[in-house]
Amino acid sequence: MARLCLAVCAIFFLLCLHASLTSSLRLNPTAEDKGNHARRTAYHFQPAKNWQNGPMYHNGMYHLFYQYNPHGALWDIGNLSWGHSVSGDLVNWAALDTALDPTSPFDINGCWSGSATILPGGIPAILYTGIDADKNQVQNVAFPKNPSDPLLRQWEKPAYNPIIPLPADVPGDKFRDPSTAWLGHDGLWRIAVSAEVAGVASTLVYKSKDFIRWDRIAAAAPLHASHAAGMVECPDFFPVSHDGGQVVRHVLKVSVMDTLQDYYMVGRYDDATDAFSPSEPERGDDCRSWRRLDYGHVYASKSFHDKRKDRRVVWAWANESDSQADDVARGWSGVQTFPRKAWLDEDGKQLLQWPIEEIETLRRRRFGLRRGTRLDAGALREIAAGGVAGLQGDVEVVFRIPSLEEAERVDDPNSLMDPQKLCGEKGADVPGGVGPFGLIVMASGDLHEHTAVFFRVFKHHDNYKLLMCTDLRKSSTRAGVYKPPYGGFVDMDIEEHKTISLRTLIDHSVMESFGGGGRACITARVYPEHVATSNSHMYVFNNGTDTVKVVKLDAWELATATVNVIGDDGAQQRHSEA
């Protein structure tokens, strides 16, 4: 099981070329919403078939490399290639041939995750983990065969690989996922690599002058070490600023195999010593107590700097929640979250994440609710969306909380320790004081199937805690599907703000929600049965005794993007250009 996620991280990078990939947008996807296509997403990235996961990067043209099994829908440890797709806008994608295949002694048992870096002169390089002939994990480099090919279709793996063999103090199956490289003031390249060193989950730093010979530095003091976390993987390390500002902090993100979650810490990075000092040391040494990138169902996130819009873009992989037999029947499994812009909150401690603005190119019909609509206790108001928007939608709502008087009091602070558990105990149908209020989405006409995305305010002494939940327990009548209540706290001063925003992206079998302007994100995979025969409905509701007001509500129907489309012959259409 844990192995499933080993391979996860990926990359992108960009070229100096504007792609003219046409975005043929199809509305009305319901006609093809039959059989195995029913769960296929309309605007989330996925290959046409077979197993995938992993992310991306940059300039005029975006490239996404991802873990791909050319032979089947499941993860096959020995046959992993790097799939490759390109896009002009991060929304519409065309599939190219695989970029890397396990054909060399240093990767003969699989091309696992890695990253791309743009070297001076605009030449991209890929660093990736190969499973060599001895089944050891080693780090390799690859370069484009023809750097002037705008699509960078073919990649060469130099014979001098591996560039970083397995270190003597690291087990053969615990050394992987080189990050995108960064340059220090000393002019040397650095990368982060995950390794278990003497039983300790470590994020090691390697340095290089020429990108080919790499030395492990600060062996005694890796960027991060978690003693009890087990193996961590897919490290991501990047500078962040407040929106549009100067770089003020760095973020270290790791994916923890033990919990299958992504955690991050904001901190200060000193490239003279390659030391990373957490901004919240009180969260402890164990990365499992850091902030969560997403409180739902994602893993192996990866980010890149989008030079075109000078922004940090984060993607994560959301695997399926039904069975492997379902994966095989569908012919594919796993999607990427919609790309998110990430930046540093004013508090200097947390990231804000928000769907990239390009999603607006997909917006079609808009639905709303009158500003100032009051939601009294027990209110349930349908948003006149129906049709396509119920399955392919983008909803943004802002609630005003006139009073916090009625917030539910909590005496035992321990009951505020586990937000997911709290969401399980206090669902949308458990009336409260301030909340639960929020959205009901992907609902059948009789509400028998529905997913509630909502907030609830608690008071402990003089502090308010804002809980956000995505409750999947009633999302589908189908058995054998993972349907937990997900939850996280939104870290904001609700007393001062008095308003709370919620944005939810709905795309057939994936739902992404952003609470409090992107302070808390919850991604979920959902498999409602009613969509095969009827529309999905959408509502706002309030089950708290305190009235809340809808300051604004906009819901859009989204068009279907062109994503690695399957041709009539069943083959993945490839973008070929001489």
Ligand X SMILES: *[C@@H]1O[C@H](CO)[C@@H](O)[C@H](O)[C@H]1NC(C)=O
In the region spanning residues 280 to 299, those forming contacts with ligand X, defined by CB under 6 A, are 299
**Closest C-alpha to 231, from 264, 203, 205, 268:** 203
Q: Report DSSP letters for 512-542, one per residue.
A: EEEETTTTEEEEEE---SGGGTS--EEEEEE
Instruction: Answer yes or no whether residue 78 interacts with ligand X by CB under 6 A.
Output: yes
> How far apart are alpha carbons 302 and 314 in whole angstroms?
6
In the complex, what is the shortest distance from the CB of residue 8 to ligand X, in angstroms, rounded to a whole number?
7
CB-closest chain residue to ligand X: 78
Piece of the chain touching ligand X by CB under 6 A; list 13-21, 73-81, 281-289, 557-565: 73-81
Strands 451-460 and 50-53 turn out to be unpaired
C-alpha distances (whole Å) from 310 to each of 52, 133, 305, 441, 449 are 28, 41, 7, 34, 41
* Nearest CB to ligand X, comparing residues 279 and 319: 319
Closest distance of CB 546 from ligand X, Å: 14
Query: Residue 4, interface with ligand X (CB under 6 A)?
Result: yes
How far lies 96's CA from each of 76, 140, 183, 243, 371, in Å?
21, 22, 30, 34, 47
- Cα–Cα dist 102/96, whole Å: 17
Q: Does residue 377 touch ligand X according to CB under 6 A?
A: no
Locate the DSSP E strands across 376-508: 379-382, 392-400, 408-409, 437-443, 451-460, 463-471, 485-490, 499-507
How far apart are CB 408 and ligand X at their closest, in Å?
A: 15
87 or 536: CB nearest ligand X: 536
* 482, 498, 565, 575: residue in contact with ligand X (rule CB under 6 A): 482
* DSSP structure string for 478-496: -SSS--PEEEEEE-S-HHH
Which of 104, 319, 353, 451 contacts ligand X by CB under 6 A? 319
Binding flag, residue 136, ligand X (CB under 6 A) = no
Q: How far is the CB of 300 from ligand X (least distance, A)?
A: 8
Note whether 155 binds ligand X by CB under 6 A: no
Q: Which residues on neighbouring strands pair with residue 237, listed in sequence order? A: 252
Tokens of 392: 């392919």
Nearer to ligand X, 70 or 150 (CB): 70
Query: In which residue are the tokens 């952003």 written?
Result: 514
Using the rule CB under 6 A, give the single segment among 76-84, 306-314, 381-389, 544-552 that binds ligand X.
Answer: 76-84
104 scored as a contact of ligand X (CB under 6 A): no
Give the integer Cα–Cα distance in Å for 72 and 331: 7
Min. distance of Cβ 107 from ligand X in angstroms?
12
Q: Is residue 428 involved in binding ligand X (CB under 6 A)? A: yes
Is 258 one of the binding residues for ligand X (CB under 6 A)? Answer: no
Q: Which of 279, 289, 318, 320 is nearest to 301 (CA)?
A: 318
Rank residues 435 and 518 by Cβ distance to ligand X and give the closer one: 435
Binding range to ligand X, per CB under 6 A, among 25-33, 41-49, 204-212, 423-431: 423-431
Total site size for ligand X, rule CB under 6 A: 20
CB burial of 362-381 (b: ≥16 within 10 Å; e: otherwise) equals beeeebbbeeebebebebeb
Cis-peptide into 162, omega within 30 deg:
yes
Asked if 383 and 539 touch (Cβ cutoff 8 Å), the reply is yes
If one asks whether residue 79 binds ligand X (CB under 6 A), the answer comes out as yes
- Interaction between residue 76 and ligand X (CB under 6 A): yes
Tokens of 461: 């002494």
Interaction mask 211-230, ligand X, x per CB under 6 A: --------------------
Among the candidate windows 74-82, 308-316, 382-390, 497-505, which touches ligand X by CB under 6 A? 74-82
Place of tokens 């919609």: 338
Interface with ligand X (CB under 6 A), residue from 155, 489, 541, 556: 541
We find the least distance from the C-beta atom of residue 326 to ligand X, in angstroms, to be 10
CB of 482 to ligand X, least distance (A): 4
Residue of 219, 328, 380, 384 interacting with ligand X (CB under 6 A) = 380
Tokens of 483: 């349907």
Nearer to ligand X, 40 or 207 (CB): 40
d(CA 259, CA 205): 24
Q: DSSP letter at 108?
A: T
Q: How far is the CB of 318 from ligand X (least distance, A)?
A: 8
**For ligand X, the closer CB: 7 or 225:** 7
Interaction between residue 543 and ligand X (CB under 6 A): yes
Examine residue 269 and tell whether it contacts ligand X (CB under 6 A).
no
Residues within the interface to ligand X (CB under 6 A): 1, 4-5, 71, 76, 78-79, 260, 299, 319, 321, 380, 428-429, 431, 440, 452, 482, 541, 543
